[in-house]
């Protein structure tokens, strides 16, 4: 591809790409997100492509320069979101979504669907006896508003030409040639776009204060260190629509006067790193990234830094320290990152989803953006829906949608016939919400008022078999492991909290433990150095608030109501069913079972180590587990 030297040349290229894009009447979009790749989608892609070629069909992987009517577009797209039903294959122009596709299905897809135009009923989504051939009609998708993720799953994720065909980089053009940096900042401020990384700080205000800094150079940094367990929104954007992120960062660069950008990506996201590298190389080749972009005289360069497995690097000052090649430890603030950030220079740090919102705000205007969602938290938010829910996956809804709509309408309710118990939102910094909170609108302020936070957007749904004390222990174990060790409250405090939670779940809880946890939590959240330390006790606080009775049952009755804590399980022998065969007693490693042949045996609870050997050895189903 030739380097573009002016806006006109990009417009001309867009025309060519658009014609080619529209020329591909038939298209197969195979999901190339991490989830579906793990399910074998790349083999499906190769098989479909091979079969089509065998039959002499023209296959276009990249957009052709000249549209040639009869070609079938074969695309590795970004994440479609419906990970539960993967690997996913979307068929256009019909808009059918084939789910759980296997390599063995490929022949039939080519024969019937591509060549014959016929739907394969076996592969389309079904729910409650109804079939939903079209992707947009599936309940999971119907209630979503896909704005940031609009192209994710609909275009070839490794093609700058497809991004351009659908109007990509027009917002950049506008910012380079039509408006001033102040105009850009005003538009973003006016839109009230709030940072999607967790805090919800107004992006426009951050940009304005960074633009005001006198010191040079300035840096644009993108936080792609999506470390919250159970969250993968940013990964899907980086994998599925990387150019949108680059465009957003470049616009921020123009607005604040920076020509260097850094993207910090988690080490666990190799595919995202690959796709971003490809995207950067493509943009550089076209002269959209680099020096003198489209002849505007402005420059922008993007570097990628791979993380090395430290959750704390999601914190701003730790992240910039890590890019500098140091231990990723936060520092005392102020000065803030906008004043002293990367290499001690003024730095604008936003997360992936925040930057990805920017091109649309520039193109469609702040008024359009503000019309979505509530006034104080406008726009949409991507959430990763996981846990014991029927439809796991990646979703995007307007801010202000209720948890009930998300979990039951989009998520399809609970998996199996279990009962909804709680939803954990905001990762290790967030809280657990219950049935009574289901009608809380999902936006920054409403969630804060009930003791949770949007965080980066991970929603982990839990059923009645989940023990909330155990979950609190799980999160505390996570933060304790990830504590960088710099400040005492977090380093020592989380350790002590973990010890208490461990003894409660092991059946050794003591009177006063709940109060001690509350006191420690209070101290840590008031004195820890960084946001991660300050929010580390949140899962404990919210579970104590909503499930105090479970804590009390563990401590005072040595009982786990959910039956999840193995050390609190009791094994008992049902005297009616026991035939007195002695098999359990013979298999008990600690001789805790006693009895006479042909009469019921009894387990001595003081000796029992709860290994479960009796349960698995009983031929008559007489051994039972009691919570």
Partner 1 sequence: MKKDFDFTVVDNILAKYPAEELSTIAILQDVQEYYHYLPEEVFPHIAKAINVGEARLYGVATFYENFSLDPKGKYVIRCCDGTACHVRGSLPILNKLREELGLSEEKKTTDDLMFTVETVSCLGACGLAPVLTVNGETYPAMTPEKAVELLNELRAKEAAANE
- By the criterion CB under 8 A, which residues form the site for partner 1? 34-35, 37-39, 83-84, 86, 226-232, 235, 266-270, 305-311, 322-329, 384, 386-388, 392-394, 424, 427, 458, 460, 462, 466, 471, 474-475, 478, 481-482, 484
Measured from the CB atom, the residue of 151 and 479 that comes closer to partner 1 is: 479
Beta bridge partners of 77: 31, 156
Give the chain's length: 627
Pair of tokens at residue 262: 């850094």
- Strands (DSSP E) contained in 225-343 are 260-265, 301-306
Q: How far is the CB of 314 from partner 1 (least distance, A)?
A: 12
Q: Which is nearer to partner 1, 29 or 273 (CB)?
A: 273
To the nearest whole angstrom, how small is the minimum distance from the Cβ of residue 319 to partner 1? Answer: 12
Contacts with 433 (C-beta within 8 Å, 6 or more apart), sequence order: 403, 422, 423, 424, 425, 440, 450, 452, 542, 546
* Alpha carbon distance 521, 165 (integer Å): 52
351 forms beta bridges with 223
Residue number, 31 or 288, with CB nearest to partner 1 = 31
Contact partners, residue 519, CB within 8 Å, separation at least 6 = none
Q: Is the peptide bond before 574 cis (omega within 30 degrees of 0)?
A: no
> Shortest distance, CB of residue 460 to partner 1, whole angstroms?
5
Q: Shortest distance, CB of residue 22 to partner 1, whole angstroms? A: 32
Shorter beta-carbon distance to partner 1: residue 268 or 492: 268
Instruction: Fill in the DSSP letter of residue 336.
Output: P
Closer of 24 and 315 to partner 1 (Cβ): 315
For partner 1, the closer of residues 187 and 241 by Cβ is 241
Cα separation, 96 vs 106, in Å, equals 15
State in angstroms the smallest separation of the CB of 466 from partner 1: 6
CB of 414 to partner 1, least distance (A): 12
* Shortest Å distance, C-beta 302 to partner 1: 15
Q: Nearest approach, Cβ of 481 to partner 1 (angstroms)?
A: 8
What SS3 string covers 470-516? Answer: HHHHHHHHHHHHHCCCCCHHHHHHHHHHHHHHHHHHCCCCCCCHHHH
How far apart CA 493 and CA 191 sit, in angstroms, is 40
Nearer residue to partner 1 within complex by CB, 4 or 323 = 323
For partner 1, give the closer residue by CB, 293 or 562. 562
Tracing tokens 């920076």 back to the chain, one arrives at 258
Q: For the CB of residue 27, give the shortest distance to partner 1 in the complex, in Å.
A: 24
Kindly state the smallest distance separating residue 587's Cβ from partner 1, in Å.
18
Complex with partner 1: residue 293 or 461, whichever CB lies closer: 461
CB count within 10 Å of CB 201 equals: 14
CA angle 489, 493, 494 (to 5 degrees): 120
Measure the CA–CA gap between 293 and 245, rounded to whole angstroms. Answer: 17
Q: What are 565's two structure tokens?
A: 């804590």
- Rounded Cα distance between 4 and 173, Å, is 12
Residue closer to partner 1, measured from CB, 322 or 377? 322
Copy the structure tokens of residue 364: 């469609």
Task: Decide if 219 contacts 179 (C-beta within 8 A).
Answer: no
Query: Do β-strands 219-224 and 260-265 pair in parallel, antiparallel, or remain unpaired?
Result: parallel
Closest alpha carbon to 500 in 535, 476, 528: 476
Beta bridge partners of 463: 420
What minimum distance in Å lies between the beta carbon of 69 and partner 1? 37
In whole angstroms, how close is the CB of 392 to partner 1 at the nearest point? 4
Contact partners, residue 26, CB within 8 Å, separation at least 6 = 72, 73, 92, 93, 114
Nearer Cβ to partner 1 (341/458): 458
Nearer to partner 1, 85 or 578 (CB): 85
């Amino acid at each position: 591809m030739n380097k573009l030297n002016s806006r006109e040349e990009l417009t001309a290229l867009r025309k060519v790409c658009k014609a080619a894009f529209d020329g591909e009447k038939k298209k197969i979009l195979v999901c190339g997100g991490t989830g579906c790749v793990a399910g074998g989608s790349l083999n499906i892609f190769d098989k479909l492509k091979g079969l089509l070629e065998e039959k002499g069909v023209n296959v276009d992987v990249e957009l052709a320069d000249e549209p040639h009517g009869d070609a079938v577009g074969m695309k590795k797209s970004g994440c479609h979101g419906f990970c539960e039903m993967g690997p996913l294959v979307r068929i256009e122009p019909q808009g059918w979504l084939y789910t759980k596709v296997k390599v063995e299905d490929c022949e039939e897809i080519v024969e019937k669907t591509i060549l014959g135009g016929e739907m394969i009923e076996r592969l389309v989504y079904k729910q409650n006896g109804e079939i939903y051939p079209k992707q947009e009609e599936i309940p999971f998708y119907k209630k979503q508003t896909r704005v940031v993720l609009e192209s994710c799953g609909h275009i070839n994720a490794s093609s700058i030409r497809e991004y351009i065909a659908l109007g990509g980089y027009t917002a950049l053009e506008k910012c380079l040639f039509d408006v001033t940096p102040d105009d850009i900042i005003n538009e973003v401020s006016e839109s009230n776009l709030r940072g999607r990384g967790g805090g919800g700080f107004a992006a426009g205000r951050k940009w304005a204060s960074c633009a005001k800094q006198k010191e040079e150079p300035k840096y644009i940094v993108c936080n792609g260190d999506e470390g919250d367990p159970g969250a993968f929104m940013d990964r899907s954007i980086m994998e599925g629509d990387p150019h949108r992120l680059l465009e957003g960062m470049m616009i921020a660069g123009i607005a604040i006067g920076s020509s260097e950008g850094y993207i910090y990506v988690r080490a666990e996201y190799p595919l995202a790193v690959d796709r971003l590298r490809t995207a950067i190389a493509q943009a550089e080749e076209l002269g959209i990234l680099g020096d003198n972009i489209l002849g505007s005289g402005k420059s922008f360069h993007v570097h990628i830094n791979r993380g090395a497995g430290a959750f704390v690097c999601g914190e701003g000052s730790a992240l910039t320290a890590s890019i500098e090649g140091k231990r990723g430890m936060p520092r005392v603030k102020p000065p803030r990152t906008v004043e002293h950030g990367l290499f001690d220079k003024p730095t604008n740090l936003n997360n992936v989803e925040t930057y990805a919102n920017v091109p649309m705000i520039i193109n469609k205007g702040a008024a359009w953006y503000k019309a979505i969602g509530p006034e104080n938290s406008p726009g949409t938010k991507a959430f990763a829906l996981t846990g014991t829910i029927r439809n796991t996956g990646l979703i995007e809804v307007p801010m202000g949608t209720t948890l009930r709509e998300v979990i039951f309408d989009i998520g399809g309710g609970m998996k199996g016939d279990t009962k909804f118990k709680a939803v954990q939102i905001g990762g290790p910094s967030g809280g657990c919400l219950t049935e009574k909170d289901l009608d809380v609108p999902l936006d920054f302020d409403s969630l804060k008022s009930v003791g949770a936070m949007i965080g980066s957007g991970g929603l982990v749904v839990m059923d009645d078999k989940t023990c909330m004390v155990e979950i609190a222990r799980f999160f505390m174990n996570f933060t304790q492991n990830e504590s960088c060790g710099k400040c005492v409250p977090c380093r020592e405090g989380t350790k002590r909290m973990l010890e208490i939670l461990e003894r409660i779940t092991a059946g050794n809880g003591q009177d006063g433990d709940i109060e001690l946890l509350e006191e420690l939590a209070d101290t840590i959240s008031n004195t820890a150095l960084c946001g991660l330390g300050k929010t580390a006790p949140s899962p404990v606080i919210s579970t104590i608030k909503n499930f105090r009775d479970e804590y009390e049952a563990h401590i005072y009755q040595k009982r786990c109501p959910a039956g999840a804590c193995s050390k609190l399980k009791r094994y008992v022998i049902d005297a009616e069913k026991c035939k007195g065969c002695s098999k359990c007693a013979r298999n008990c490693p600690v001789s805790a079972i006693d009895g006479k042949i042909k009469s019921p045996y009894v387990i001595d609870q003081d000796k029992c180590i709860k290994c479960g050997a009796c349960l698995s050895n009983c031929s008559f189903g007489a051994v039972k587990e009691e919570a």
